[in-house]
Amino acid sequence: GGLSRRHSSGRDSTAAALPLPLPTMRHLLLSRLLRRASSPSQPHHNLQLIRALSSSSPLPASDTDLRKYAGYALLVLGCGAATYYSFPFPPDALHKKAVPFKYAPLPDDLHTVSNWSGTHEVHTRVLLQPDSIPALEDALATAHRERRRLRPLGSGLSPNGLGLSRAGMVNLALMDKVLDVDVKKKTVTVQAGIRVAELVDALREHGLTLQNFASIREQQVGGIIQVGAHGTGAKLPPIDEQVISMKLVTPAKGTIELSREKDPDLFYLARCGLGGLGVVAEVTLQCVERHQLVEHTFVSNADEIKINHQKWLSENKHIKYLWIPYTDTVVVVQCNPPSRWKAPKLASKYGKDEALQHVRDLYRESLKKYRCFSELKPTVKTQR
């Protein structure tokens, strides 16, 4: 009675109705008995109660029992579910008629654009394809007036998603014409949307070609210049170094003509501007005479390349390494003019007699068959 009265004297009256845990009750009883044991009345009785409470057995592990019973319950539920779904229900059962999930159809004005390798994809409602410089100027001016960004999108061969944007993109695939070819100066002026493969084919008729281009030739000329597409060897720079002049369409100032003579600083920045200074509309490139190359491909490894890299870089006009992932194998591709290329000296696997043995056997078998055929004498029967 004393415990309940003391507990009910707290601030919260509702707490008196809640039962105390057994360890708490035991602690309170021990403390009260210790205070009473100090009094001279009934000392032996109090000491016996203290020993009985302190020597009582511990409570059972309730958490262990709960885990055990929960495991039993889960096992029963799992067996029931397995039995339910394994039982052969009739084909017209309701739970067997599952409705397949269907994606909502995309809006008609939504364009899905991805890069060439399929690693990046974006949906946008603004995908512009102007066919002339005035149309490109109007598109950029409208976006500038609406405070909306447009990213120039080439052929999408870059492995990253730099040219993709949900806000809007502009593609120059319709601006793909060759405007002028100067055979004497070895220059060509093209629209930025023409692909490298189309440009190389057009230059072949004039005996010209680009100084350097990739093995994959699907890039737009404007894109391959703006991203600083790679050079090769020790002496061939990236393709943007071949630019003589260009027309850059900007949002606020319209079309700007840039060259090494007019504005060399801005021209140097705009050649590899990643579309940040404007959209390249026309380009004049320096070409070289059309020539042939001999390609030599062989397999190497990382250690051998470390030893011979400087040597191969100085000896070959074009060189590239193709590393095969998760291996130590590297494919080395070297390209040189025919006059500089030297065929590797390969040791013969067979001797001269062994190499000609199959030809000799074939010749002998042919002679035997021919002799057998010539020894056959035709028989002619005459009738009287």
Total domains, the chain:
4
Q: Which 3-state string (H, E, C) describes the chain?
A: CHHHHHHHCCCCHHHHHCCCCHHHHHHHHHHHHHHHHCCCCCHHHHHHHHHHHHCCCCCCCHHHHHHHHHHHHHHHHHHHHHHHHHCCCCCCCHHHCCCCCCCCCCCCCCEEEECCCCCCEEEECCEECCCCHHHHHHHHHHHHHCCCCCEEECCCCCCCCCCCCCCCEEECCCCCCEEEEECCCCEEEEECCCEHHHHHHHHHCCCEECCCCCCCCCCEHHHHHHCCCCCECCCECCHHHHEEEEEEEECCCEEEEEECCCCHHHHHHHHCCCCCCCEEEEEEEECEECCCCEEEEEEEEHHHHHHHHHHHHHHCCEEEEEECCCCCEEEEEEEECCCCCCCCCCCCCCCHHHHHHHHHHHHHHHHHHHHHHHHCCCCCCCCC
pLDDT of residue 287: 92
Q: Is residue 62 part of a domain?
A: no
For 215, half-sphere exposure in the C-beta direction (CA atoms, 13 angstrom radius) is 11
Query: For position 268, which CATH number holds?
Result: 3.30.465.10
Residues 164 and 188 in one domain: no
pLDDT of residue 32: 61
Residues 28 and 122 in one domain: no
State pTM to two decimals: 0.57
At which of 125, 154, 171 does a domain end? 171
Q: Return the amino acid letter for 76.
A: V
How far, in Å, CA of 213 to CA of 220, rounded? 12
- Domain span at residue 317 reads 294-336
Q: Is residue 194 part of a domain?
A: yes
How far, in Å, CA of 53 to CA of 29, rounded? 8
Q: Is residue 103 part of a domain?
A: no
Q: Is residue 224 part of a domain?
A: yes
Q: Is residue 184 part of a domain?
A: yes
Residues 227 and 278 in one domain: yes
pLDDT of residue 133: 92
Residues 237 and 272 in one domain: yes
Residues 200 and 278 in one domain: yes
Residues 130 and 221 in one domain: no
Residues 187 and 262 in one domain: yes
pLDDT of residue 347: 62
Q: Is residue 38 part of a domain?
A: yes
Residues 196 and 215 in one domain: yes
**Per-residue tens of pLDDT for the chain, all 384 residues:** 434 444 444 444 444 444 555 555 555 665 665 565 555 555 555 555 555 555 545 545 566 777 777 888 888 888 777 776 665 555 555 554 445 555 556 667 788 888 887 888 888 888 888 989 999 999 999 888 888 888 888 888 887 877 888 888 888 889 889 999 999 999 999 999 999 999 999 999 999 988 888 778 888 888 888 888 877 877 888 888 889 999 999 888 889 999 988 888 888 888 888 888 889 999 999 999 998 888 899 999 999 999 999 999 888 888 889 999 898 999 999 988 887 656 555 566 666 777 777 777 887 887 777 666 555 555 545 444
Residues 222 and 184 in one domain: yes
Identify the CA nearest to 179 among candidates 246, 128, 226: 246
At 127, phi and psi to the nearest 5? -135, 105
pLDDT of residue 187: 92
- Is-contact 246 254, C-beta < 8 A? no
Beta bridge partners of 318: 335
